[in-house]
Structure 1
Amino acid sequence: MVLKKTNVLMVAAVALLCACVLLLAGCSGNAPKKEQAPAAPAAAKQADAPQYKLQTEGKLTIATSPDFPPFENLVDGKYVGFDIEIGKAIAKKLNLEPEFVNLQFDAILPAIASGTKADLGISGFTSNPERAKQVDFSQSYYTDDLAIGVMKSSPITKDTAKDALNKKDVKIGVQSGTSGETYVKEHFPQATLVPYGNSNDCFAAMNSGQVTAVCTNSAVVEKMLSDAYKDAKIVSKIATGEEYAVAVSKSNPELTKAVNEALKSMKADGTTETLLKKYL
């Protein structure tokens, strides 16, 4: 009797143990799994990623009007000039590949404002309140003035230019949409304003006698006269103190910040000064 009772107790104990094991296994299988936190390096990488928008991933697309030496020009099909080098240096600071888009000067700001065709506009743009209604501008990277050129055969001189240019029979060539155009409208209202799509056409028109004079940025007049129009002369220099800046879409403020940081770094490490000595 005692042995039989002991066997029964042992069987019951084993059965109870098996039931507990099965119950624990079932509970473990139904327990919700905890989600693992993202790895720290991936999170850090996402936080450091640029927040600005680009036309093409990995590229900085820059709109320019390459007819404005020594700032931008085409030589043997290649973009050259001070502004071109500024654009390349900005792209390098942002670890991007520069890509230039050829647009007529007065078409660049509308393209930048609409967020199409280019990320930046770098083409001798003077930052002013009127243009700032369309786009955002970076900090200034160059300061320039205006100048007026005429052919050496013209009777207009430095002493007579102020009055001689403000006459009905005088035609003054300007690049459409530029500060030169604005200046002529304000200071020579009696003269006939003749706008051209690019500055090359302005000087060609003066050389052929279609216009009496050309008004544009001082460095451009000096460059054109020294390289291609040696029979022309400067009769007026106007200290306008124009601040050149990079144009960026208002919908892309993070890119404006990045460009400003790049320009600040270029000034600090001597890049800008080196380019100024090379081109200006």
Structure 2
Amino acid sequence: MELTRRQFIPTAVAGIAGMAGLAGCSGNTDETTVVEGSGSAETGSDDLGLLEAGTITFATSPDYPPFENLEDGEYVGLDMDLGRAIADYLGLECAYTNIDFDGIVPAIVAGGQADAGLSGISITPDREEEVNFTTPYYVDNQAVATLSDNTIITEDNAAEALNDAAVTIAVQSGSTGADFAAENYPNAEQLPFPNFTDAFAAVNSGQADAVCGNAAVVNQMLAGAYTDLHVVLTSATGEEYAIAVSKDNEPLLDALNEAIEALQDDGTLDELIEKNMG
């Protein structure tokens, strides 16, 4: 039962505001991209157990707008802006390395690929057994979408109609959307994909009847490339997004929590949420 993403709640945990003009990470999906942060905290990077002194490397799966995405080779979204703001506060450079979503927590546990996981990761009991989590920075729900012309699964009957052996639900592997679908629609067939965008494409092409995932992302997808779909069900799961850190690296966890608290207190988090969520 693992990681996921969700529908925006305006009261999303605390707020990260105020850091205008943050440097952006850009690059391709085959390599780690680094951007320099000016820094405001007196943090000794040698004490944080970083893979590379002076640089914090976040593992991310950039296929989950509005949290993380690649646009013209540039990392964009709430998480990407948050990572840059945290690095800037800690006086570090910011680097992103691409890992399939269901591989992020295992990568943090194993070490050697990234210092932390920042990719719309929900706090779950199973994940907490493997990694530590920072203070949450966002709260989301679950949503299910179907083609707008689907007359079998509608807003009126979705809770019952989805739990049918004839129904196929597309999900992202290792996500809380997959967990939610398995728990609430056990009779349905689940069709997992490494990338969430592929789950939407499966519904568009007729491979799946519905797609399940975090509401903020579902709504973003429907407002963009998948306008033929609509939401038939939303569940107030109240999932908390946070940054995943190795259980062996308490100093980094403490530093990230300090940065998140500072960004909440000065309004930067709220500002970044407003920028990316509208």
User: TM-score when scaled to structure 1?
Assistant: 0.82
* 1-structure distance, mates of 2:246, 2:109: 5
> What letter corresponds to residue 231 of structure 1 in structure 2?
D
Partner of 2:37: none
Partner of 2:194: 197
* 1-structure distance, mates of 2:246, 2:127: 12
* 1-structure distance, mates of 2:240, 2:85: 19
Q: Quote the offset at 1:48 in angstroms.
A: 7.2
Identity of aligned residues (%): 47
Deviations 1:111-164 (A, max 9, x none): 111122100100000011110111100010000001000001101211110111
Q: Quote the offset at 1:49 in angstroms.
A: 3.5
Structure (1/2) with the larger helix percentage: 1
Deviations 1:55-89 (A, max 9, x none): 11111101000000000001011111001011111
Q: Does 2:56 align with 1:66?
A: no
Partner of 1:216: 213
Q: Which structure has more RCO (C-alpha within 8 Å, separation ≥ 6)?
A: 2
* 2-structure distance, mates of 1:129, 1:70: 25
Deviations 1:186-244 (A, max 9, x none): 11011001111010100011100100000000000000000111111000000000000
User: TM-score when scaled to structure 2?
Assistant: 0.83
In structure 1, the gaps of 5 or more residues are 1-46
Q: Does 2:183 align with 1:186?
A: yes
In structure 2, the gaps of 5 or more residues are 1-41
> What letter corresponds to residue 189 of structure 2 in structure 1?
T
1:49 to 40, 44, 51: 44
Q: Does 2:91 align with 1:95?
A: yes
* 1-structure distance, mates of 2:72, 2:191: 29
> What letter corresponds to residue 101 of structure 1 in structure 2?
T
Q: Does 2:153 align with 1:161?
A: no
Instruction: Please give the secondary structure, in 2, of the residue aligned with 1:90.
Output: helix
Instruction: Please give the secondary structure, in 1, of the residue aligned with 2:49.
Output: coil
Partner of 1:236: 233
| Structure index of larger Rg | 1
Q: How many residues align?
A: 234
Q: Is the 8 A contact 2:43 2:91 kept in 1?
A: no
2:244 to 244, 247, 258: 247
Instruction: Please give the secondary structure, in 2, of the residue aligned with 1:130.
Output: helix
Instruction: Please give the secondary structure, in 2, of the residue aligned with 1:87.
Output: helix
